[in-house]
Amino acid sequence: MTTLLIVDDERAVRYAFERTFGREYTIKTAENGEQAIRVIAEEEPDAVLMDIRMPKMDGLTALKIIKKSHPHLPIIMVTAFADSASAMQAMKDGAFDYVAKPFDNDELRSIIDKALSAGKIQGKLHCGCGKSWGEETDNEECIVGSSPEILNMCKKIGQVAGSDLPVLITGETGVGKELTARAICQHSNRKDAPFMVVNCASLPDELVESELFGYETGAFTGAVKQRIGRFEQCNGGTLFLDEIGELPIAAQAKVLRVLQDGTFERLGSNKQLSTDVRLIAATNKNLDEMAADGRFRADLLHRINVLTIIIPPLRQRISDLSDLILYFLSRYGRQVYPPVEGISDKALEQLAAYSWPGNIRELENTIRRGIVLTKSTILSAEDCIIQQQAEPPEGNFKQVVGMQIDNLIKGDESRPYRSLISEVEQMLIKKALDLCDGNQVQAANLLGINRMTLRKKLTSA
């Protein structure tokens, strides 16, 4: 059974907590901060409810000490003397939440459940990394790190997991948006139901609606048999729409309808179908700007942006680098012989000095490449060569292209408008691809269009 530690100097309060939550949790108690630290070291509870004002050692002092040795333990601060200063200090020092007496038991129970969910996620943060090399480790992907940024993110996951409301995950490419979506699902009431992923950027515009909503036989040329769409397949479960900013406007309207009333039609049918799906969306774009420009529906943005999780880039939590490297070594190091077991200090310093524009995905690829190339059981600086991809020089791009367009127009003023526009468009695309070393995703971002649009223009050239 889950263990809950109650820390309060008043015996009546401890007894009241035991009466209220004793059937749901194994209850441990402590009279002050000093006792709490000892109990946590011996019993390792799953969550803590701790008063702020106590003799010998107050709750805020104990919180700081406990967080140093148990950074993943969720601690809920409780006080009868609520004030903004102590609340801000408690949250700053890592408390999961701050509750003022008197409180509603059901509300507190809900906070405890969220704290326990966050604790389970954060308990995986050192997955594989804290184990000795001979121990068995699974190959499960998990959130890794103990920086304040990642702990706050895990706390947010625990808070939103139990709800059925839509979640929007934002962050740069490679930070782990799908992994975060899976963590939300695994700690939700739908964890045993389907979890499906649709990458909106990888689907041609004409196939998006059939992928999401399905189609009937004969709905279009090539529709030789009925297809069930993802919203229908995922009924009762969780649907993750990655890169939702790439959805065509027409598909956005249909997704909005599903979120509003849970209904849709397959392509080629007038029959209204119902589905119960929790939507998690992700993007590396600024949807507010896209909505202001008319490229994303504002009403859909309001629907999916009910709960938001922002994933920090790796450069903002570089203290997690060593944990991440050890985690990737534990996953991939034994796939070669002799197994790769560690990394040199020089190599670690070299990797820590890099800005990681590709984030966790780039780090993972760097470590995997080093594991394959090394001739030792310890990765050296020479093994961890970073294949740097320069950021597309947007300012220089605009300057160079502007000069080329100016020369193009001055060179021949007699050509028809459409012919000139077509040539300018192809010149823009070629220059963007040149600057991005042929990377279509980066070129599309540089041009301000989606990858599918770029592909269409390349094939029609």
Please indicate, yes or no, whether residues 159 and 305 belong to a single structural domain of this protein: yes
Residues 305, 196: Cα–Cα separation, whole Å: 20
Domain that holds residue 371: 317-379
Q: Is 26 helix (H, G, I), strand (E, B) or coil?
A: strand
In a domain, 425, yes or no: yes
Please indicate, yes or no, whether residues 17 and 88 belong to a single structural domain of this protein: yes
Q: What would the pLDDT profile of 297-317 be if each residue is shown by its tens digit?
A: 999 999 999 999 999 999 999
Residues 320, 71: Cα–Cα separation, whole Å: 13
The domain boundary residue, chosen from 257, 287, 310: 310
Q: What would the pLDDT profile of 29-64 be if each residue is shown by its tens digit?
A: 999 999 999 999 998 899 999 998 898 898 899 999
Please indicate, yes or no, whether residues 204 and 284 belong to a single structural domain of this protein: yes
What pLDDT band is residue 432 in, cutting at 50, 70 and 90? Answer: confident
Please indicate, yes or no, whether residues 156 and 293 belong to a single structural domain of this protein: yes
**In the prediction, which pLDDT does 136 show?**
38
Please indicate, yes or no, whether residues 353 and 288 belong to a single structural domain of this protein: no
- Residue 429 sits in a domain whose CATH number is 1.10.10.60
Please indicate, yes or no, whether residues 235 and 326 belong to a single structural domain of this protein: no
Helix (H) or strand (E) holding 196: strand 195-199
- Which is nearest to 164 in space by CA: 128, 144, 139, 190? 190
Kindly state the greatest CA–CA separation across the chain.
93
In a domain, 389, yes or no: no
Please indicate, yes or no, whether residues 289 and 171 belong to a single structural domain of this protein: yes
How do 238-242 and 47-51 pair as beta strands?
unpaired
In a domain, 449, yes or no: yes
If you average pLDDT over residues 216-226, what whole number do you get?
A: 81
- Which is nearest to 391 in space by CA: 356, 424, 361, 364? 356
Residue 192, pLDDT above cutoff 70: yes
Residue 370, pLDDT above cutoff 50: yes
Please indicate, yes or no, whether residues 226 and 155 belong to a single structural domain of this protein: yes
In a domain, 226, yes or no: yes
- Residue 10 sits in a domain whose CATH number is 3.40.50.2300
In a domain, 387, yes or no: no
Total domains in the fold of the chain? 4
> Given the structure tokens 């849709």, which residue do they identify?
264
- Residue 114 corresponds to which tokens in the numbers above? 């969220």
Please indicate, yes or no, whether residues 348 and 435 belong to a single structural domain of this protein: no
How long is the chain?
461
Q: What would the pLDDT profile of 2-23 be if each residue is shown by its tens digit?
A: 899 999 998 988 888 888 888 8
In a domain, 110, yes or no: yes
Quote the DSSP letter at residue 25. S
In a domain, 388, yes or no: no
- Residue 194 sits in a domain whose CATH number is 3.40.50.300
Please indicate, yes or no, whether residues 454 and 415 belong to a single structural domain of this protein: yes
The model's pTM: 0.66
Quote the DSSP letter at residue 317. G
Residues 6+ apart with CB under 8 A from 126: 144, 146, 323, 327
Q: Is the peptide bond before 102 cis (omega within 30 degrees of 0)?
A: yes
Please indicate, yes or no, whether residues 343 and 421 belong to a single structural domain of this protein: no
> Given the structure tokens 């967080």, which residue do they identify?
67
Please indicate, yes or no, whether residues 252 and 289 belong to a single structural domain of this protein: yes
In a domain, 131, yes or no: no
- Residue 322 sits in a domain whose CATH number is 1.10.8.60
